[in-house]
Amino acid sequence: MFFYIVTLPSGLSRWCKQSQSTNQRIVETSKQFKRPSIQFLTGILNGSEFMFIKAEQVIIPKEKQFILLEGQGTNATIIQWNAHADPGDAEINSAAFLVNADNFIARHITFQNSYDYRYKQAIAMAAVIQGDKCSFYDCKFLGYQDTLCDFQGRHYFSQCWIEGGVDFIFGQAASLYEGCTLNSILIDEGPSWFTAHAKVNLSAPGGFVFKKCYLIGSGNMYLGRAWNQHSTVLFYQTFMSGLIVPLGWDSWQQDVSQITYAEESCTGPGSNKSQRVRWERQLSAQDWNRFISSEFIDQDSWIEQQSP
């Protein structure tokens, strides 16, 4: 029998059977991260460790702030959902996991959309992040097209694995990815794109910053394409394997004068910038420090304050 434990703010706990809906058991939470609000546990089945797979779409509603969702490892705890969006469908409904609330933490969990993209390519999101001050530690996001919708708010990803083939990190959020691996599983030569970023206007907060990350996998990949003319994506001290298209970036027919794409101190065969697009930005040391430091997403020290 599979179980998981829900820890209430008071410290009391209750056991729940797997058959009950996760969405029905999101409990009231305090305004501090005292203990995991929802904790998935592996257990023993016939003397062997088993894997917990939650085959259900999980939604954290907007009013349920201060939730910490913790698994027992990305190979042991998996939230999995099989859905896709056809033309005309609400694309967000394909997601296996949606966070609409602010102040959310996930650790040691895999979020997977198991839709079979080899049959027909379609939008099939693993996760949609719409709340502010959301952080993910040692998590996996598995899909193919539009794997991670990093939609809006300020987000922090540490030591995560993000896998897909087309636009598999996209949105208009302001997010820092630190020590993360982006793994392309493109099934043809492509080219395709790791990222597709947009934001409301040039002065609005927003951008994807990849610090000390790893770009690996198959196919031929652009670092990013401009979802709109204010797209902002930066790679800092990141390893780039040989799958990077020499041009690096795709304007997608946007006005390149307002696009901010930049690389600094990257390594690997894909980091050779001799054939990069002419409109790639050359940022000053001061600008780089603004993006890779806490100033970018953490001016109010929310990441430190979330530490349970």
Output phi, psi for 245, to 5 deg.
Answer: -60, 130
Euclidean distance between CA atoms 120 and 46, whole angstroms: 38
146 catalytic per annotation: yes
Q: Which two tokens stand for residue 80?
A: 């999995």
Output phi, psi for 306, to 5 deg.
Answer: -75, -15
Q: Which of 89, 116, 150, 167 is labelled catalytic?
A: 167
Residue positions counted in the chain? 308
Residues 6+ apart with CB under 8 A from 49: 42, 43, 76
First-to-last C-alpha distance (Å) of the chain: 30
**Long-range contacts of 92-95, Cβ-Cβ distance < 8 Å, separation of 24 or more:** 92/125, 92/128, 92/149, 94/122, 94/123, 94/124, 94/125, 95/57, 95/125, 95/126, 95/127, 95/128, 95/149
| Continuous H helices in the chain | 285-292, 302-306
Euclidean distance between CA atoms 261 and 208, whole angstroms: 10
Strand partners, 255: none
Please tell me what DSSP assigns to residue 304.
Answer: H
Q: Which of 146, 188, 255, 300 is labelled catalytic?
A: 146
Handedness of CA 150, 195, 112, 297 (dihedral sign): negative
Q: Which two tokens stand for residue 279?
A: 């409109």
Euclidean distance between CA atoms 130 and 227, whole angstroms: 18
255 catalytic per annotation: no
**Secondary structure of residue 233 in the 3-state scheme:** strand
Q: Which residues are catalytic?
A: 146, 167
